[in-house]
Amino acid sequence: MNGADRLAEPLSRVLGARTAGGLAKLGLETVEDLLRHYPRRYGSPGERTDMSALTVGEHVTVMAEVRSTQVRSMRSRGGAMLEAIVTDGHHTLQLTFFAKRAGVLRMHESKLKPGSTGLFTGTVGDYRGRRQLTHPDYLIVGVDAADEAEAVLEASRPIPIYPAAAAVPTWRIGRSVRTVLDPLTDEDVPDPIPAGIRAERSLPTLLEALRAVHVPEREQDWERGQDRLRFEEALVLQTALARRRAAREDLAATPRPPVVDGLVAALDASLPFTLTPAQESVGREIAESLSGATPMMRLLQGDVGAGKTVVALRAMLQVVDAGGQAALLAPTEVLAAQHLRSLEQLLGPLAHGGMLGGDARATRVALLTGSQGSAARRQALGEAASGAAGIVVGTHALLSEGVQFADLGLVVVDEQHRFGVEQRDALRARGDRPPHMLVMTATPIPRTVAMTVFGDLETSTLSDRPPGRAETVTHIVPADNAAWLARTWQRVREEVDQGRRVYVVCPRIDADEQARGEDAPPTEPADAPGDEPFTLEWDGDDAPAASVPLASVTETAAMLADRPELAGVRIGRLHGRLAADAKDAAMAAFASGEAPVMVSTTVIEVGVDVPQATVMIVLDAERFGISQLHQLRGRVGRSTLPGLCLLVSRAEPGSVSRERLEALASTTDGFALAEKDLELRREGDVLGAAQSGGRNSLRLLRVVRDATLIDQARLVARDLVAADPRLETAPALASAISLWLGPEREDFLERG
């Protein structure tokens, strides 16, 4: 049997059906699955779990010392019970076992010797005010040792603690791992890291690393093992990306070089403002890529209001100048319509192609949405197919719906995190010659993530903002401080009296919405299927438990109408459950100043543009993610009027929720915030989804923490792929890529 076969062996054959059945519940089917199921952390025998932190209903594994045991017979119910008290030194936890006969309990009693240390696992219950585990599974350290020397050794070793399930406690996993690990040799475990690279970096072999993480003798062992496994993950990932990049460079796109006196020049001459230096330089980068014969795949990052639209428009016009067409895709129909308006406004007569008195260079902009009338749709489809429309604006569905283009040269994807993968898939499915792609996002992707996950994209960043914009100041307002709240509404009054507008954002529509579960992140019913912008969101897992109900639009609007500070001020409402015309009416009344205070859900998060809006108040702000709050804040400070953002929250000082709000208050730099967001995500990071994507995916790598390592792996991978594009000299690496990532997962890399 060769190595790969050894690893692919089903656990049922190696461990027997019963054990394998338990492990299957954790998704572990093969020897390799089990070996790649790394301990989550390590206990040391001297350590104790803090019992005061246990919550009822939680499944826990605790390390504790046995203090006492007592077997009692139960007269009332018959049978007997064993009560053991275990302790962390300060608090105690009761373990309870019931049995028909005392004999079974004696067996437990003999293992649970007072003074011994063990791991205990079970669901925390509450019996007469005491925390307890009923019939816990447990492991007493040193009890299984063959002799005393071994017991002493075992008692000094780090104890691997595995991600476990109620049905399979951590030590049973550990025992199974040792059973499969013991007989293996280096030949059985092909190493994805080529020997040369291993030697250069003095890394252990894969087998050595697996032994080190699963059966460490001291702390340095598992640390060294993890380091090497982490590098392996980075290398597999980066090699996959390097190969993808190389493959893309082999594709042919139509070059669309700039022309001297075309639409781009005409637009530049007619713009009511001068481009910022960043818009200029990013424009040059894009112009150059579009001139090339390989498809551009570029991510354009720029904070809210940075002026991405005009950059995209100039790129689209360059393609039109070169005889091609461009498609601009927005995440929602509302935003698509808004894009059409702003493009037509920027273009002026340049969008009146084919019309009397139009500029000879002029083109047309067509809008294609699912909800438009059939006549308008037919006309737009006709203009796209004939080439009369140089620019076609629509939602993402546009490409998959099989809309025909005369010569599609550029696809611009606005405001999304999925990085054009779906669009590329759709285009591939249509068999089109690959167009250039420009993906725009206002939620900045930190450099570390861009490099790790989107390693094959080129990125451009609009690092400055158009001049003359006022800054927005952000404060945290404690929700339980009546004086502060009164001051807040007073401030709202002052703004309104000066002719300005105020948003008040709530996490819920009305009290009934509670049924949807307060633990869920705030969501907004989509306007139409697939019409919801994709946002990268915090899961809100440590937001304070909502013992006080969350603010809702309906209740807040009613409450504000009664506040003495706001007497006589009309309060508008906006949320996703309103009909489209009611939404439009609410927006119009707000924009005109008729209803200068707007209570709403996050529907206003993206794209809404009311320059007189100066104050953004977010209630229960801890319920929202950093990027979402940043987007909300971007709704104010959009003119020369300074903005004010008040985050009303019950988050305790020192909590992660509070830290997120403080990060927001401390900077308006979206990039710094995105980095902070990643840092505060616990398990995770943007790779979170890939990690939970099943077997054999990334486990140890963390984008922020491991940035340097990832960078090193990228260089190694680049050289490797340059020297040996098919990875013939590194077969184990090649198969790790297809096994870990698979064709679908490789795509996943770009989806974030």
> Which residue number, 298 or 573, has a Cβ lying nearer to ligand ADP?
298
For 68, the 3-state DSSP assignment is strand
> Which residue number, 305 or 478, has a Cβ lying nearer to ligand ADP?
305
> Which residue number, 464 or 724, has a Cβ lying nearer to ligand ADP?
464
Q: Point out which span in 283-291, 307-315, 575-583, 612-620 binds ligand ADP (CB under 6 A).
A: 307-315
Q: Point out which span in 6-14, 84-92, 298-306, 734-742 binds ligand ADP (CB under 6 A).
A: 298-306
Min separation Cβ 584 and ligand ADP, Å: 20
> Both tokens of residue 117?
């240390």
Q: How many CB atoms lie within 10 A of CB 516?
A: 12
The contact mask relative to ligand ADP for 415-454 (x = CB under 6 A, - = no) is: ---------------------------x------------
Min separation Cβ 394 and ligand ADP, Å: 17
> Which residue number, 253 or 629, has a Cβ lying nearer to ligand ADP?
629
CA proximity to 507, closest of 615, 646, 600, 604: 600
> Which residue number, 6 or 308, has a Cβ lying nearer to ligand ADP?
308
648 contacts 618 by C-beta, under 8 angstroms = yes
Min separation Cβ 275 and ligand ADP, Å: 5
Q: List the one residue from 21, 305, 370, 478 that touches ligand ADP (CB under 6 A).
A: 305
Min separation Cβ 328 and ligand ADP, Å: 12
Q: Point out which span in 257-265, 269-277, 401-409, 518-526 binds ligand ADP (CB under 6 A).
A: 269-277
The total number of residues shown for the chain amounts to 752
CA proximity to 605, closest of 509, 520, 511, 506: 506
Q: List the one residue from 14, 155, 275, 528 that touches ligand ADP (CB under 6 A).
A: 275
What's the CA gap between 660 and 679, in Å, rounded? 10
Give how far Cα 41 sits from Cα of 37, 159, 197, 222, Å.
Answer: 12, 8, 28, 10
Does residue number 341 form part of the binding site for ligand ADP (CB under 6 A)? no
For 386-432, the DSSP string reads: HS-EEEEEEETHHHHTT---SSEEEEEEES-SSTTHHHHHHHHHHTP
> Both tokens of residue 51?
């019992």
Q: List the one residue from 131, 172, 298, 308 that touches ligand ADP (CB under 6 A).
A: 308
Q: List the one residue from 19, 49, 132, 279 that touches ligand ADP (CB under 6 A).
A: 279
> Which residue number, 636 or 648, has a Cβ lying nearer to ligand ADP?
636
Min separation Cβ 464 and ligand ADP, Å: 9
For 283, the 3-state DSSP assignment is helix
What's the CA gap between 613 and 644, in Å, rounded? 10
Q: Point out which span in 270-278, 288-296, 474-482, 711-719 binds ligand ADP (CB under 6 A).
A: 270-278
Strand runs labelled E in 683-742 = none
Does residue number 466 form part of the binding site for ligand ADP (CB under 6 A)? yes
For 75-135, the DSSP string reads: TTTSSEEEEEEEESSSSEEEEEEEESSHHHHHHHHHHS-TT-EEEEEEEEEEETTEEEEES
The contact mask relative to ligand ADP for 214-253 (x = CB under 6 A, - = no) is: ----------------------------------------
Give how far Cα 463 sits from Cα of 176, 284, 380, 469, Å.
Answer: 53, 15, 36, 14
Q: Point out which span in 72-80, 87-95, 306-314, 563-571 binds ligand ADP (CB under 6 A).
A: 306-314
Q: List the one residue from 133, 296, 310, 591 that touches ligand ADP (CB under 6 A).
A: 310
Min separation Cβ 468 and ligand ADP, Å: 7
Q: List the one residue from 59, 110, 135, 273 that touches ligand ADP (CB under 6 A).
A: 273
* Count, residues near ligand ADP per rule CB under 6 A: 14
The footprint of ligand ADP on residues 480-539 (CB under 6 A) is: none
The footprint of ligand ADP on residues 347-366 (CB under 6 A) is: none
∠ Cα 220 221 227 (to 5°) = 85
Q: Give the list of residues 6+ apart from residue 182 with CB closer than 8 angstroms, or none.
A: none
Q: Point out which span in 98-106, 138-146, 275-283, 734-742 binds ligand ADP (CB under 6 A).
A: 275-283
Min separation Cβ 264 and ligand ADP, Å: 15
Does residue number 323 form part of the binding site for ligand ADP (CB under 6 A)? no
Does residue number 307 form part of the binding site for ligand ADP (CB under 6 A)? yes
> Which residue number, 303 or 333, has a Cβ lying nearer to ligand ADP?
303
Strand 159-161 to strand 41-43: parallel, antiparallel, or no bridges (unpaired)? antiparallel
> Which residue number, 238 or 279, has a Cβ lying nearer to ligand ADP?
279
CA atoms within 13 A on the CB side of 405: 30
> Both tokens of residue 618?
């977010």
626 contacts 632 by C-beta, under 8 angstroms = no
CA proximity to 544, closest of 644, 646, 660: 660
Question: Which residues form the interface with ligand ADP (CB under 6 A)?
Answer: 273, 275-276, 279, 302, 304-310, 442, 466
